[in-house]
Amino acid sequence: MPGTEATTTTDLVTHYSAQLASDLERNAEEQDGIRAELEQLEARLSALQHNHAVLMTMRQALENGIPLQHPSAAPGGNMTGGAPGRRGAGGPKQRVPTLVSLIRAHLGERSGPCSAGEVAATLSEAHPDRAIKTTVVRTTLEGLVARGEARRIKKGHSVHYVVA
């Protein structure tokens, strides 16, 4: 019977088309999931690499006898980093804010997300005496994200940051 063959062929084509559509959808969803995992792993790797570099610098400083920078509000000290009421030969010691503290303050002042380039440009303008590179700002921002002090927001291919 010729009509039965056409119906069977149509049913097979319909079945395989539905199966193909399902397989394609499942494949695309799995790719999206893996992309998201890769982004998270890349962010973690970046944070770990940054932390490794910081730790290696600290190790080198300790091995070479270079004193490490103390926190800005050390117990028993004042905001200039020295002992209370004590001044050196050149007068009060001025503390230079760290890049991390400048970035934290900048993110805190912003009402919305900003890119690493925007942060670098704003800080370079506010502190012309410092050489502030976008790559260093981006690495620092990723470190803040890794510590939960900032959040990363993806907008297409660009990344923006806000205070957490």
17 and 64 inside one domain: yes
C-beta separation of 101 from 141 below 8 A:
no
- What does the alpha-carbon distance between residue 106 and residue 71 come to, in Å, rounded to a whole number? 19
At 126 the pLDDT is 92
58 and 116 inside one domain: no
Give residue for tokens 């490490």.
68
Domain count, the chain: 2
82 domain residue, yes or no: no
At 35 the pLDDT is 87
106 and 59 inside one domain: no
- What does the alpha-carbon distance between residue 74 and residue 4 come to, in Å, rounded to a whole number? 88
46 and 105 inside one domain: no
Model pLDDT for residues 87-103, shown as the tens digit of each residue: 444 555 667 889 999 99
Phi, then psi, of 95 in degrees rounded to 5: -90, 135
Q: Span 55-64, mean pLDDT?
A: 79
pTM for the whole structure: 0.45
